[in-house]
Structure 1
Amino acid sequence: MIDDTLKEFIPKFQMKNVGILNAAVHAQGLLTNAGPSDWQAACKEIKDACTQARQHCIEKGVELGKLALYHSLQQQGPASVLVGMKDRQILDYNLKVVHDGLTSDEQAAYNHVMKIFDKLTVKHWGTTEIENYWKAVSA
Structure 2
Amino acid sequence: MKTRKLGKTALDVPVLSFGASSLGSVFRDIDRDEGIRTVHSAMDAGMNYIDVSPYYGLTKAEAVLGEAIRSLPRSSYTLSTKAGRYGEHEFDFSRKRILSSVQESMARLHTDYLDILFLHDIEFVAPEIIIEEAFPTLLELKEQGVIRYAGICGLPLLLFEKMLPQLNADAIISYCHYALNDTSLLSLLPLLKEKGVGLVNASPLSMGLLSTRGTPAWHPASNQVKELCLQAAQFCKEQGSDIAKLAVQFSTANEQIPTTLVSSASQRNIVNNAAWIEEPIDQQLLTEVLRILSPLHNESWPSGRAEYNVNYNITSNASEEEQR
In the other structure, the counterpart of 1:38 is 217
Residues 14-35 of structure 1 show CA distances to partners (whole Å, capped at 9, x for unaligned) of: 1100001110111111112333
| Structure ranking higher in strand proportion | 2
How far off is 1:54 after superposition? 1.3
TM-score by length of 2: 0.37
Question: Unaligned 5+ residue runs, structure 2?
Answer: 1-179, 307-313, 318-324
Q: Specify which structure has the higher proportion of helix.
A: 1
State the match for 1:57 in structure 2. Answer: 236
> Structure 1 stretch 30-39 or stretch 57-66: which is displaced more?
30-39
Name the CA distance, whole Å, in 2 between partners of 1:122 and 1:18. 23
Amino acid at match of 1:111: T
In structure 2, the residue matched to 1:84 is 263
Contact 2:183 2:298 in 1 (8 A): no
Aligned length: 133
- Across the aligned residues of Structure 1 and Structure 2, the Cα RMSD in angstroms comes to 2.7
Quote the Cα distance in structure 2 between the aligned partners of 1:40 and 1:83: 17
1:28 equivalent in structure 2: 207
Task: Letter of the 1:75 partner, please give it.
Answer: N
Q: Which has the larger radius of gyration?
A: 2
Higher normalized contact order (CA 8 Å, seq sep 6+, divided by chain length)? 1
Letter in 1 for 2:256: G
User: Where do 1:59-78 residues align within 5 Å?
Assistant: 59-78=238-257
Q: d(CA) in 1 for partners of 2:233 and 2:183?
A: 19
Deviation at 1:121, TM superposition (A): 5.6
Cα gap change, 1:40/1:116 in structure 2, threshold over 3 Å: closer, same or farther?
same
Q: Deviations over 1:32-69 (max 9, x none)?
A: 23332221111112111101101101211211111111
Instruction: List 4+ stretches of structure 1 deviating above 6 A.
Output: none
Tell whether the 8 Å contact from 1:49 to 1:116 is kept in structure 2 after alignment: yes
> What stretches of structure 1 of length at least 5 have no aligned partner?
135-139
Change (3 A) 1:72 1:122: closer
Deviation at 1:110, TM superposition (A): 2.0
Structure 1 contact 25–69 (Cα < 8 Å) conserved: yes
